[in-house]
Amino acid sequence: MRRRTLFTAAILLLMTAESVCGWGYRAHFTVNSGAIDILPEPLRGFYHLNRNYVVPHAIDPDLWVDMKIKTPAYAHYIDLDMLDNAPFTGIPKEYASAAGKFGEETLKRAGTLPWEITRRKDELTTMFREHHWEDAVKASAWIGHFVADATMPLHTTRNYLGQLTGNIVLEERGPNRSVHHRLEWGLLQAFPEHYDGIMGRRENVKHVADVLEMSWVTVRSSYGLIDEVLAADKEAAAIDASFGPVYYRKFDALMRPLVEKRLRLAEELVASVWLTAWEDAGRPALPGRRIFIESPVCADAGAAEDAVSMTRAFTVVLLVVLAAIVGYGLWRGRRMHAGP
C-alpha cells in the first residue's frame, strides 16, 4: 500500500508539472513586480522587502484553480456578453442586485471578477488595520493576480478562445492552443525582451475612491479590445497557421502596443489597490523587515522554466525508481508464492 501511495503521488506530480510556475505566468510576475516599483513610500519599501513573496506568489490563484481549492475558476473572469450587450449598463454594479436579477448560478457561469477584486481589497484593508502582516503580504500577491486578469481582454467574453469567430483552436495543450493562450502565454514567451521590463507610471498610482467601480471600468475597457485581438490573431494565422516564429513576429507587431498598454495599466491598478487598502486602514506603520524568509520558487520567467524542468526531471527519475521498486516487489511476491 505504501509503494502504491508513493507511485500515485509521483504520477500526480508529473501531471501537475505544467502548472508549476510555467512560462504562461510571466505576465503576472511582471505586473506584481512592476507594481512594487511604482508605489510611493513607505509602501514601496515594505513591498520591496517582500518582493521575494509577492512576485512569485502572483500565480497562486491559478494553481488553486488547477487544484480545485480556495478560489473557483469563475473568480478570474466575467463574460460580460453572457449577461448583457455592450455597453453593459444592464448589469447591476452590486453583487446582491446582480444576483437578484440574473441568479447566482448564472453569475457563476458568467464569472464574478469585479466582485472578487473588491472582496479581496476589503480583506487586505482589514489585514493592514489589524497588523496581520503575513496575511497582508499573501493577500497583496493574490489580489495583484485578479486585477491583472481584469485588464486581459479575453477574460471578459464567452468567446474567450475565439471559438465563436473562427479563430483557430487546437486540440493540443500549450501556448498555441487558442488565441487566449497565444496572447497571454505564447506571445510573452516568444518575446520576453519586449514585455518583461514594462513599467507603469508612478503618477498614475493613486487612492481609488470606489474599487468596485474601478473594476467595472477596467473589464468594460478590456471588452472593447476583443475585436482587435481576434483580428490580429486571424491575420497572423493566415501567414503561419503552424503558430511558429512567423506567426509570433506578426502577432507581436500587431499586438505589442495593446499588450504594453494593458500591462502598464495592470501595474498601476495593482499598486493603486494596495495603496488604497493601506490608506483605508489608517496608514498603519509598516514593519521594516522581510515577513517571509524563503527562496522564491520562480521569481522570474527564467527561474520558472528551470523550476518546471527540474520538476519534470525529478519526477521522471522518481517514477523510474518507483516502477523498479514495484516491479521488484511483484517479482519477489510471485517467487515467494510459488515456493522453492
Q: What is the pLDDT of residues 256-265, one digit of tens each?
A: 999 999 999 9
Q: From first to last of the 340 residues of the chain, give the pLDDT tens digit.
A: 433 333 333 333 333 334 333 334 889 999 999 999 999 999 999 999 999 999 999 999 988 876 656 678 999 999 999 999 999 999 999 999 999 999 999 999 999 999 999 999 999 999 999 999 999 999 999 999 999 999 999 999 999 999 999 999 999 889 999 999 999 999 999 999 999 989 999 999 999 999 999 999 999 999 999 999 999 999 999 999 999 999 999 999 999 999 999 999 999 999 999 999 999 999 999 999 999 886 455 444 444 444 443 434 444 444 555 555 655 565 555 555 555 5
Closest CA to 16 of 334, 337, 308: 308
Of the CA atoms within 13 Å of residue 101, those in its CB half-sphere come to 11
Return the CATH fold of 26-289. Answer: P1 Nuclease (1.10.575)
pLDDT at position 90, please? 97
CA distance 304 to 310: 10
Q: Is the pTM of this model over 0.85?
A: no
CA distance 42 to 288: 10
pLDDT tens-digit readout, 136-180: 999 999 999 999 999 999 999 999 999 999 999 999 889 999 999
At position 26, the amino acid (one-letter code) is: R
Closest CA to 208 of 262, 274, 257: 274
Q: Is 93 left (phi over 0), alpha (psi -120 to 50) or beta?
A: alpha
CA distance 313 to 239: 36
31, 270 in Cβ contact below 8 A?
A: yes
Helix ranges restricted to H, 16-173: 26-37, 43-49, 51-54, 60-67, 80-83, 95-102, 104-110, 113-129, 133-150
CA distance 187 to 169: 16
Residue 306: CB atoms within 10 A of its CB come to 14
Residue 104: CB atoms within 10 A of its CB come to 12
141, 63 in Cβ contact below 8 A?
A: no
